[in-house]
Structure 1
């Protein structure tokens, strides 16, 4: 990857409203940020602050009958907001990929993992079934899944949540999209597999230049992975900063509260007795 960085995602003046029986309610507003090639942008904030709504609006996955999305969402210079669903399906998976928070909802239960993985690859390439299968097997090896050939023959209910999460990450990264949106990608994983998944995401971004929008409640993951951080509160961005600046010198009171809320183990020194 060259040293030159190019802008791959630009979000400007994003506002999302949902229709209710009492009128329109604003979910997020005045959202501005951009993502450069090979960069990891962390998106943090408490539950309900609008992180997932922001990501779903970028992917154009919100119900168009009940929600209104205003503003500009540019992916490699192409406007996504308002794009026809048929055109958007061609973009998703190839140019922009999504790692969902709940892996159980990501797969159709009546088709095997292999069918869904291979069809995803073939829908965006001209490869035959054998070539797509080989790529799927390789991608599953990368996320620490043993015996991927056997796993491809399994149905989603036969895999644990953690395994499904890793399969989903493999699908998202295998075609080296310009942007990967990862919504709590390590939630269902144990510590060892968390490390492997984060390593693989970092490898994808460093080798292929994929930019990653990393949504996480785990500030440790953000501190380790992100280059820059966006902090959201009640549907608005309250702070944007370099990851070192944000953790060492937070400016906004809400950011300070988030950082102070991190789990800290307090050791009662009076209770410690060394033999």
Structure 2
């Protein structure tokens, strides 16, 4: 098997339970999928189906006191499930990066963009401040942000949501991680910024070979970006297929329902536009 087709992430029999005073509740179960180098896997489903829980499990970000994660999460052959927090901090940002839905939540409001970007780079490399700053400016330039050197001095509240999302993509991509998890990366953005963000993600995938797990309820985004698609319902993956097969010949009734809902929505939009 060639390097291009090798699995960089393998999730096997993932099962997540959360414990409370009322007992344990299963959030996701029997989750199996893999990510290949330079490929995009779209993970779709309605809100509450377990998409974000799956991503948080991979990143080992669930509260270990209240949740129980079983199964195997192999990143480039290394088991992540059960890895202690100190070791996971070395992995996050360097080998596996995360782009969250609300970019404002990703930044500390009292530090400049530059400070946070530089500290992220230095936490995973031996570079000095000057070298890290140069890489940060170059990374911001790659996502088409104007005057990156000046932007480094800004605080998060001084940037729009679309600009912050691009900063987050620049931070996620700058160390060329094997895997990028993008959780609803375009939900909070207008149409123009959505297109920019998707373009930058596609550029990262093609230039660096990063595999992308793209989580979205937007089937338009999935159809444009994904190579393969996994459909989630009630904490399980009910269908997996390449993007063309899934959209042209869906097998599961829930997938058909999702696609039909999208068709009805587009028809309604057309009627409103023509009225």
Please give the TM-score of this superposition, normalised by the length of structure 1: 0.94
Matches within 5 A, 1:79-98: 79-98=79-98
RMSD of equivalent CA atoms? 1.5
**Deviation, structure 1 residue 3:** 7.0
**Structure 2 contact 18–68 (Cα < 8 Å) conserved:** yes
Matches within 5 A, 1:79-228: 79-228=79-228
Distance 2:79 2:235 in 1: 22
For structure 1, the 5+ residue unaligned runs are none
- SS where residue 264 of structure 1 aligns? helix
Deviates more, 1:120-129 or 1:236-245: 120-129
Distance 1:108 1:221 in 2: 29
For structure 2, the 5+ residue unaligned runs are none
- SS where residue 62 of structure 1 aligns? coil
**Structure 1 contact 165–188 (Cα < 8 Å) conserved:** no
Moved over 6 A (4+): none
Normalized per residue, the structure richer in helix is 2
Distance 1:28 1:3 in 2: 31
Distance 1:48 1:145 in 2: 34
**Structure 2 contact 16–29 (Cα < 8 Å) conserved:** yes
**Structure 2 contact 4–36 (Cα < 8 Å) conserved:** no
Q: Could you give the per-residue CA deviations for residues 146-192 of structure 1, whole angstroms, max 9, x where no partner exists?
A: 12212211111222222211111110011110000000111222222
Q: Could you give the per-residue CA deviations for residues 235-269 of structure 1, whole angstroms, max 9, x where no partner exists?
A: 0000000100000000001001111111213556x
**Deviation, structure 1 residue 20:** 1.6
